[in-house]
Structure 1
Amino acid sequence: MSEKQYLLDKTLERWKGQRVAVGIGSEISFSGILEDFDEEVILLKNVTDYAGNKARELIVKIDDMNWITLL
């Protein structure tokens, strides 16, 4: 495991169960509860996008994320 992957895993483990915001591409962002993650994807529950649209769950490829913040 690379040092970068270790830091990501450690941080996401701490953030599990809390609300996060995720940026995908230059204009798309979502917020939701970080439910789970692995080396390739994160799973968010109770998701809201930047326009206020809601969804129950969202899977995001980690390679497609520009940023993730703890809200």
Structure 2
Amino acid sequence: MGMESLLEKVLKEWKGHKVAVSVGGDHSFTGTLEDFDEEVILLKDVVDVIGNRGKQMLIGLEDINWIMLLE
């Protein structure tokens, strides 16, 4: 078993908490971090910067510029 990556360690700690995510540099979303793997994160109760809402959203890790813990 290899050492856990910092990304994996932090995402485990943040699971179930509200986060903000910047995708592709142009789009930001908030939602609750529901799950993740080595390729994607899954957010629930998602809201974008102009107020559009969604139940869930999959985001490819390669498309994320940053992720911030909000609560």
TM superposition score normalised by structure 1: 0.92
Deviation string, structure 1 residues 31-55 (Cα, Å, up to 9, x no partner): 0000000000000000000101000
Unaligned runs of 5+ in 2: none
Deviation string, structure 1 residues 10-64 (Cα, Å, up to 9, x no partner): 0000000000000011220000000000000000000000101000000000010
For 1:57, the equivalent position in structure 2 comes to 56
Distance 2:49 2:61 in 1: 19
Query: Counterpart of 2:38 in 1: which secondary structure?
Result: coil
Count of residues in Structure 1 that have an aligned counterpart in Structure 2: 70
Query: Identity over the aligned pairs, expressed in percent?
Result: 53
Please list, as runs of the form range in 1=range in 2, the aligned pairs for 1:1-71 lying within 5 A after superposition: 6-71=5-70
Runs of 4 or more consecutive aligned structure 1 residues displaced over 3 Å after TM superposition: none
